[in-house]
Amino acid sequence: PSNSLSVNKESSLSVNKESLQKQIDELSTFSDSPAPSVTRILYSEKDVMARRFVKNLMGLSGLSVREDAVGNIFGRWEGYEPELAAVLSGSHVDAIPYSGKYDGVVGVLGAIEAINVLKRSGFKPKKSLEVIMFTSEEPTRFGISCLGSRLLAGSEALVKALKQTVDNHNISFLDAARSAGYAKDQEDLTSVFLEEDSYSAFVELHIEQGPILEEESISIGIVTAIAAPASIKVEFKGNGGHAGAVLMPNRNDAGLAAAELALAVEKHVLDSGSIDTVGTVGIMELHPGAINSIPSKAHLQIDTRDIDESRRNIVIDKIRQSASTISENRGVQLSEFEIVNQDPPALSEDSVIKAMESASKELNLTHKKMISRAYHDSLFMARKSPMGMIFIPCYKGYSHKPEEYSSIEDIANGVRVLALTLAKLSLS
Ligand code: HGY
Ligand code: MN
Ligand code: MN
Ligand code: MN
């Protein structure tokens, strides 16, 4: 089979922009919140509609489709040496509440279009090429980020945890998975684990979710590392009571304990000595949530990250210390302090970085190496195969909100770099 890539790459790798834009727009309609926002939660009926949409596109591209026990969806283009470990590319389509329509989606629809681009160019893969849609990357429903890729990477702890994980409506993970047609007769989900050396490389196309590429008018980001994420669940309990009748000295207000801890998170992060340390309290729920009732319970979820793992872990220890000091000072009970995940960072593989760089050069696209401050399924796929990520610019770096936007030109640039990168890795 000829390596048709020797022809002029500019012309032979053309993206069908209008159909890709239409797909992005149509996929965004499978949402539980009004346009232009997107809300698409794991195993919800909108998620199931999105899955059907993606599987259909994979089929139309001639990919053979399979799904694993938790709904990771694979589409395979067999190579002429099918016994070699395949090259994998993909991302996620689940979307946190009131977010945008490009986060993750660009890496799933873009990977399918990259396959179409290669097929149209007459390319024949040596190593098979596979596209994956991870079953869920966002932590929204069960509080576990990158659930699909963590399982693929072989997390025994997660298999155990999923046996008793329930969502906010007390629906168990397995019941939710079964309602979407997965995890049929599966009690333990170790069937999801990837065999050793299943893939020779994994590449994810994603919007930058930061302002750098747009600010510097650079077309392509070559990701060298992904920051180390962690999340913590905290709950404070007090006696609550009547907002009018209970005098201040007699209170142990769980809500104020939570507020003080949130400010302590900010303080510890700012004291870390590096701009790369971030901390967020994105969830803070007060019970009973009545204006004239002193909060008797407060539930917070804390997200803290850093490109330097030990610096991040120091912040976590300080947060834990503050939580117990606050509970003593305020006479509230620290009824929960659970580190949900405390992951190391991931480094991209040199061989994949080189492939992405030479692809960008051959396509005459400006590019720069950079880190990813957002986490991605790539963080866990890096544990199973050489990993790389391709970033494209997004409007003002906006993400996780409805204003998220990338132009179809920028998306098409990313798809072409992905296509050429996959071709190089397939022939390597
Ligand atoms: O939060 C993140 O980093 C990812 O975009 N879910
Ligand atoms: Mn996201
Ligand atoms: Mn994402
Ligand atoms: Mn992500």
Closest atom of ligand 1 relative to the 399 alpha carbon: 5
Same domain, yes or no, for 281 and 159? no
Helical packing angle, 408-427 and 350-362, nearest 10°? 120
pLDDT, position 5: 55
d(C-alpha 339, C-alpha 302), whole Å: 9
Ligand 1 near 138 CB (within 6 A): yes
At 293-327, the pLDDT tens digits run 999 999 999 999 999 999 999 999 999 999 999 99
For the domain that residue 158 is a member of, what is the CATH number? Answer: 3.40.630.10
* Cβ-contact 144, 165 below 8 angstroms: yes
74 DSSP β-pair partners: 66, 132
Residue 265 lies in a domain: yes
Asked if 160 and 198 sit in the same domain, the reply is yes
Q: Is 67 helix (H, G, I), strand (E, B) or coil?
A: strand
What ligand is nearest to the CA atom of residue 107?
3
pLDDT value of residue 204: 98
pLDDT tens-digit series, residues 224-266: 999 999 999 999 999 999 999 999 999 999 999 999 999 999 9
Assess whether the C-beta atom of 230 lies below 6 angstroms from ligand 1. Answer: no
Q: Please check whether residues 253 and 400 belong to one and the same domain.
A: no
- Asked if residue 1 belongs to a domain, the reply is no
Give yes or no: residues 234 and 288 share one domain: yes
Residue 235 in contact with ligand 1 by CB distance below 6 A = no
Q: What value does the mean pLDDT of the chain take?
A: 96
Ligand 1: atom nearest CA of 139 is 6
- 8 Å CB contact between 54 and 94: no
Residue 204 CA to ligand 3 center (angstroms) comes to 10
> Do residue 207 and residue 350 come from a single domain?
yes
Same domain, 186 and 279: no
Range of the domain at 175: 9-227+345-427
Phi, psi of 87 (to 5 degrees): -100, 130
DSSP string, 223-287: EEEE-EEEEEEEEEE----BTTTS-GGG---HHHHHHHHHHHHHHHHHTTS-TT-EEEEEEEEEE
Choosing from 342, 370, 394, the residue where a domain stops is 342
Whether residue 69 sits in one domain with residue 143: yes
Instruction: Choose the final residue of a domain: 342, 362, 391.
Output: 342
Examine residue 281 and state whether it is found in any structural domain, yes or no: yes
Question: How do residues 343-356 score in pLDDT, each as one tens digit?
Answer: 999 999 999 999 99
Q: Which ligand is nearest to the CA of 229?
A: 1
pLDDT band for 78, please (50, 70, 90 cuts): very high
Boundary-marking domain end, from 342, 375, 406: 342
Q: Is residue 253 lining ligand 1, measured as CB closer than 6 Å?
A: no
Please tell me the pTM assigned to this model: 0.94
Q: Are residues 349 and 331 in the same domain?
A: no
User: Are 199 and 337 found together in one domain?
Assistant: no
Residue 2 placed within a domain: no
Give the chain's domain count: 2
Domain contains 4: no
Is the Cα dihedral 108, 111, 117, 118 positive or negative?
A: negative
**Do 77 and 118 fall within a single domain?**
yes
- Say which range, 100-104, 114-118, 136-140, 161-165, has the weakest mean pLDDT: 161-165
**Among 40, 304, 307, 375, which is best to mutate for testing ligand 1, by the most ligand atoms less than 8 A from CB?**
375
Structure token pair of residue 71: 């709904």
Q: Computed over its alpha carbons, how large is the radius of gyration of the chain?
A: 23
Give domain status of residue 79, yes or no.
yes
Same domain, 141 and 273: no
Counting atoms of ligand 1 from 1, which one is nearest the CA of 145?
6
Q: What is the CATH number of the domain that holds 238?
A: 3.30.70.360
255 and 301 part of one domain = yes
Closest atom of ligand 1 to 137 CA is 6
- Four-residue CA torsion sign, 239, 243, 248, 249: negative
